[in-house]
Amino acid sequence: MEAAATTCYCHPSYETYVSCTRCERFICPDCMREAAVGHHCVECVREGQRSVRQARTVFGGMASRAAVPLVTYVLMGLNVLVYLGELVSPGLVDRFAMTGAGLAAPDGSRYVYVDGGFPGLDVIGVVDGEWYRLLTGAFLHLPPTGASFGSLPFGVLHIVFNMYALWNLGRVVEQQLGRARYLALYLLSALGGSVLVYLVAPYDDTVGASGAVFGLAASFYVVNRRLGRDMQAVNRFLAGFLIWMVISAGFTSWQGHLGGLLTGALVTVVYAYAPAERRTAVQAAGCVVLLAVLVLLVVLKTSALTG
C-alpha cells in the first residue's frame, strides 16, 4: 500500500515532502523560509522575531539608525498647521497664548491684571483656571505683523527659526531617547518654560515653541556628554543658544527659554543615569515627579496672585 501524500499545512492542495525544522509541519515553497538548518515556516519565523530582544540605547530608545523621527515630524506639522490657523483666525493667539494673568473687556480689549480684577473686565489666563494655556502657547507663534527684520516680519522668522532648530535637534534626540521618552521631554520642556514665565512674568503674553526647543538643546548636550563624545563642538553649540537667549531677551521671553532649558536638562539627566535594570520605571517616575513639582509651583503662584 502506498503512503498517503503529504500536503502543505497552509496550502492543502500543494503536495510536499519538506517540513519545518521547528514545528515539523509540512510546507510548500511559498511558506518556506531559509534557516541555519533546513527551513522554517512563516509562523515560526514570526514567533522567533518576537522573542528576539531589540537592541536599545543607554537611554532606552531603539538602537536602529533607520527609525524615522516620526514624533519630530508630527510636532513640526502641528506647529505649521496652527500657524496657518492663526493666519485665518488671528483670535487664536489671544485665546490660547500663554497668559498668566490678564484682564479683557467684552470687546476683546486687553488690560494689565490688577489684584482682584477690575469692574467690567474679565480675569483671564492661568490665574483664572485656564491651565491649558501652559501648553497651547507652545504651539503658537507670533503673527506676521508688527516688527520686521529686513524684508521678513519677525513673526515669520519666529516660526522658521524654531522649526529649523526642531528639525535639526529633534531627529538626533529622538533617535537616542525613543519616541515616548522624546515626546515626554518635549512636552515637559514646553511646560517648564511656561511655568517659569508664570512665576517671573505672569502679566506677559508669550507664544512659541522656543521653550521646548531650548529643552531639546539641553537634552542634546546631556546626550552627547553621556555618550562620551567630543564636547568641543557641542559646547560651542550650546553657548550659541545661551547667547541667543540673552540677545533675544528684548523681544522674546527669556523666561520661557530658560525654563525649557532647565527642564530639558533635568529630564535628560534622569533618562541618562537611570539604572539599566529598572530604567523605564525610574525614568517614568522622574518625569511624574517633575510634573508634580511644576503643577505645585503653578498652584502656589496662583494662590499668591489671587491672595
* pLDDT reading at 7 higher than 50: yes
Q: One-letter amino acid identity for 172?
A: V
The verdict on pTM exceeding 0.75 is: yes
* pLDDT reading at 221 higher than 90: yes
Do residues 174 and 65 touch, judged by C-beta distance below 8 A? no
- 169-194: pLDDT as tens digits: 999 999 999 999 999 999 999 999 99
* Most confident of the following: 24-33, 62-71, 202-211: 202-211
Residue that is written with C-alpha cell 503529504 in the block:
6
Mean pLDDT along residues 44-58: 69
Who contacts 23 (Cβ-Cβ below 8 Å, separation ≥6)? 41, 43, 44
Who contacts 208 (Cβ-Cβ below 8 Å, separation ≥6)? 137, 138, 140, 141, 142, 158, 159, 162, 252, 253, 256
Per cent of the chain over pLDDT 70 is 84
Using DSSP, state whether 302 is helix, strand or coil: helix
For residue 234, the model assigns a pLDDT of 84
Radius of gyration of the chain (CA): 27
* Domains along the chain with CATH numbers: 1-52 (no CATH), 70-306 (1.20.1540.10)
For residue 135, the model assigns a pLDDT of 96
Between helices 279-306 and 179-200, what is the axis angle to 10°? Answer: 20
- 280-296: pLDDT as tens digits: 999 999 999 999 999 99
For residue 1, the model assigns a pLDDT of 40
- 82-96: pLDDT as tens digits: 999 998 998 888 889
**Which pLDDT band holds residue 214 (cuts at 50, 70, 90)?**
very high
For residue 59, the model assigns a pLDDT of 80
- 125-157: pLDDT as tens digits: 899 999 999 999 999 988 876 544 444 556 688
- Residue 7 host element (H or E): none
CB atoms near residue 11 (< 10 Å) = 15
